[in-house]
Chain A
Amino acid sequence: MKYFSEENMILINDLKKIKEDTIKKMSMSEVEEGFRIVVGMATCGITAGAKPVYESLLTLINKLELNNVSVVQVGCIGECALEPIVEVYDAQQNRTTYCKVKENDAERIINHHILAKEVVEDLLISKHRI
Chain B
Amino acid sequence: MGLLAQVIICGCPRCMEKGSELIRNEFIKQIKKLQLEDEIKVIMSGSLGLCDRGPIVIMYPETTFYVNVNVSDVEEICMEHLLKGNIIERLAIVNFTEEEDIKIKKFKEMNFYVKQERIALRNCGIINPFDINEYIAKDGFFALTKILTEMTPMQVVEEISKSGLRGRGGGGFLTGLKWSLAAKNSSDQKFVICNADEGDPGAFMDRAVLEGDPYSIIEAMAIAGYAIGSSQGYIYVRAEYPLAVERINFAIQEAYKNGVLGSNIFKTDFSFFLETRLGAGAFVCGEETALIASIEGERGMPRNKPPFPAVSGLWKKPTIINNVETLANIPVIINRGAEWFTKIGTEASKGTKVFALGGKIANTGLLEIPMGTTLRDVIYGIGGGIPNGKKFKAVQTGGPSGGCLTANDLDTPIDYDNLIALGSMMGSGGMIVMDEDNCMVDVARFFLEFTVEESCGKCTPCREGTKRMLEILQKITKGEGCLEDLDELEELAYSIKDSALCGLGQTAPNPVLSTLKNFYNEYYSHVVDKKCPAGVCRDLIKYVITDACIGCGKCKRNCPVDAISGNTRQKHIIDQNLCIRCGACKMACSFHAIITE
B86 within 8 A of A: no
Q: Is the Cβ of B363 less than 8 Å from the Cβ of A81?
A: yes
Shortest CB–CB separation between residue B43 and chain A, in angstroms?
Answer: 6
Asked if A73 is an interface residue, CB under 8 A from chain B, the answer is yes
Annotate A67-90 by CB proximity to B: 1 below 8 A, 0 otherwise: 000001111111111100101000
Taking a contact as CB atoms under 8 Å apart, the answer to whether A42 and B128 are in contact is no
Most buried by B among A75, A79, A127: A75
Q: Name the A residues within 8 Å of B141 (CB-CB).
A: 10, 15
Contact with A18, one of B38, B126, B129, B133 (Cβ below 8 angstroms): B133
Which residue from B41, B134, B365 sits with its C-beta under 8 Å from A79?
A: B365
Q: How far is the CB of B554 from chain A (nearest CB, A)?
A: 30
Q: A26 interface residue, CB < 8 Å from B?
A: yes
Point out which of B148, B259, B367 has the most chain A C-beta atoms below 10 A from its C-beta. B259
A75/B253 in contact, CB under 8 A: no
B364 close to A80 (CB less than 8 A): yes
A73 — which chain B residues lie within 8 A by C-beta? 128-130
In the assembly, what is the distance between CA of A44 and CA of B494, in Å?
Answer: 39
Q: Which one of B41, B266, B273 lies within 8 Å of A10 (CB-CB)?
A: B266
Number of interface residues of A (CB under 8 A): 41
Residue in A8, A74, A76, A127 whose beta carbon sits within 8 Å of that of B127 in the complex: A74
- Indicate if the CB atoms of A8 and B207 lie closer than 8 Å: no
Beta-carbon contacts under 8 Å, A1-31 to B: 1-4, 8-12, 15, 18-19, 21-23, 25-26
Q: Is the CB of A80 within 8 A of B256?
A: no
Task: Indicate if the CB atoms of A43 and B129 lie closer than 8 Å.
Answer: no
Chain B residue nearest to A21 (CB atoms) is B133
Judging by beta carbons under 8 Å apart, are B367 and A1 in contact?
no
Q: Which residues of B contact A116 (CB under 8 A)?
A: none
Decide yes or no whether A123 CB sits under 8 A from chain B.
Answer: no
**Contact status B262-A75, CB under 8 Å:** no
Give the residue name and chain of the A residue nearest to B361 (CB): A81
Q: Are B212 and A19 in contact (CB under 8 A)?
A: no
Partner among A12, A25, A77, A126 whose Cβ is within 8 Å of the Cβ of B125? A77
Q: How far is the CA of A43 from the CA of B209 in the complex (A)?
A: 11
A23, A72, A130: the one contacting B128 at CB < 8 Å is: A72
Question: Which residues of chain A come closer than 8 Å to B38, judged between CB atoms?
Answer: 124, 126-127
Instruction: Using A1-B256, A43-B211 as known contacts, say yes or no to A130 and B142 having CB atoms under 8 A apart.
Output: no
Within 8 A of A (CB), among B37-56: 37-38, 41, 43
| B22 close to A (CB within 8 Å) | no
Nearest CB of chain A from residue B216's CB, rounded to whole Å: 11
A46 within 8 A of B: yes
B384:A129 contact, CB within 8 angstroms: yes
The residue in chain A whose Cβ has the minimal distance to the Cβ of B254 is A3
- Contact indicator A8/B257 (Cβ below 8 Å): yes
Residue with the greatest number of chain B CB neighbours at <10 A, chosen from A25, A42, A43: A42
- Knowing A19-B137, A75-B212, A129-B384, the reply to whether A40 touches B125 (Cβ < 8 A) is yes
Which of A74, A124, A130 touches B385 (beta carbons < 8 Å)?
A: A130
Chain A: CB-nearest residue to B262: A4
Enumerate chain A residues within 8 angstroms of B136, measured Cβ to Cβ. 15, 18-19, 22
Q: Does B547 have its Cβ within 8 Å of any Cβ on chain A?
A: no
23 CB contacts below 8 A, A to B, read: A8-B257, A8-B259, A10-B141, A18-B136, A18-B137, A19-B137, A26-B134, A38-B128, A42-B211, A43-B207, A43-B244, A44-B204, A74-B125, A74-B129, A74-B212, A75-B125, A75-B129, A76-B366, A78-B368, A87-B125, A126-B37, A126-B38, A127-B37
Tell me the B residues contacting A by CB distance below 8 Å: 3, 37-38, 41, 43, 121, 123-131, 133-134, 136-137, 139, 141-142, 145, 148-149, 204, 207-209, 211-213, 241, 243-244, 253, 256-260, 262, 266-267, 273, 275, 362-368, 384-385
